[in-house]
Amino acid sequence: MTAPGVERTPRVLIADDQTLIRTGFRLILTARGIEVVGEAADGAEAVAMTRELRPDVVLMDIRMPNMDGLEATRRILERAPDCRVLMLTTFDLDRYVYTALSVGASGFLLKDVTPEHLAAAVRLVDTGDALLAPSITRRLVERFATDDSRPPAVHADLAALTPRELEVLTLMGRGLSNSELAAELTLSEATVKSHVARIFAKLTLRDRAQAVVLAYETGLVRPGDRGGSGTTG
């Protein structure tokens, strides 16, 4: 357990079928004080190594031979729900974005990410938060919410939310961070964090990524919804 005031050091597994990508990410992370415990060349290796090495975060390529990153993520999180998976992709329009978030990925990174952003992203998801790049979140809303053939999903547990919690969930679905939520709702960040924690507990959500998916599925977020809600209270 990390002592108060001491930054936790995430233990990371890198899963990518390209040796150069794995090597580059390893060098970037270790140079910034993050421990890389292993490298996997495909999804099957990633599943096996996660079971053996128990990393805190897995950097997971989506497209790999033998077993792709989606199936590997599903299997990893079934066995190790506390592990965080950060998906790696070449395009922010990757058609697998929604599926990956649905199976429990905590966010996405483009492979051309800067070294500083890569390390910051790993530390962020290790704390239990989710990383959703604005461009990816926007595309996700536009693609998923504009599919009129899919009626909003019914999630009975939404009835357990207070009006304020429902408002916070809606704004999270639009991509607002805790600081942006605090400004929009005229609340302290500590209060926002308490609301978010209660939402996760009531809806049995692992992190912000699942909250965003749920907001789309239930129709809380619709095409054209951007930024603040315009509500008060």
To the nearest whole number, what is the mean pLDDT of the chain? 83
Between 218 and 59, residue with greater pLDDT: 59
**Average pLDDT score over residue span 131-142:** 63
Between 210 and 37, residue with greater pLDDT: 37
Contact 131, 159 (CB under 8 A): no
What's the CA gap between 179 and 193, in Å, rounded?
10
User: In this predicted model, what pLDDT tens digit does every residue of 75-101 receive, in sequence order?
Assistant: 999 999 889 999 988 866 556 777 787
Torsion of CA 185, 190, 196, 198, to 10 degrees: -120
Say whether pTM exceeds 0.75: no
**Average pLDDT score over residue span 193-200:** 92
pLDDT higher than threshold 60 for residue 229: no
In the chain the domains, ranked by start, together with CATH numbers, are 11-131 (3.40.50.2300), 151-217 (1.10.10.10)
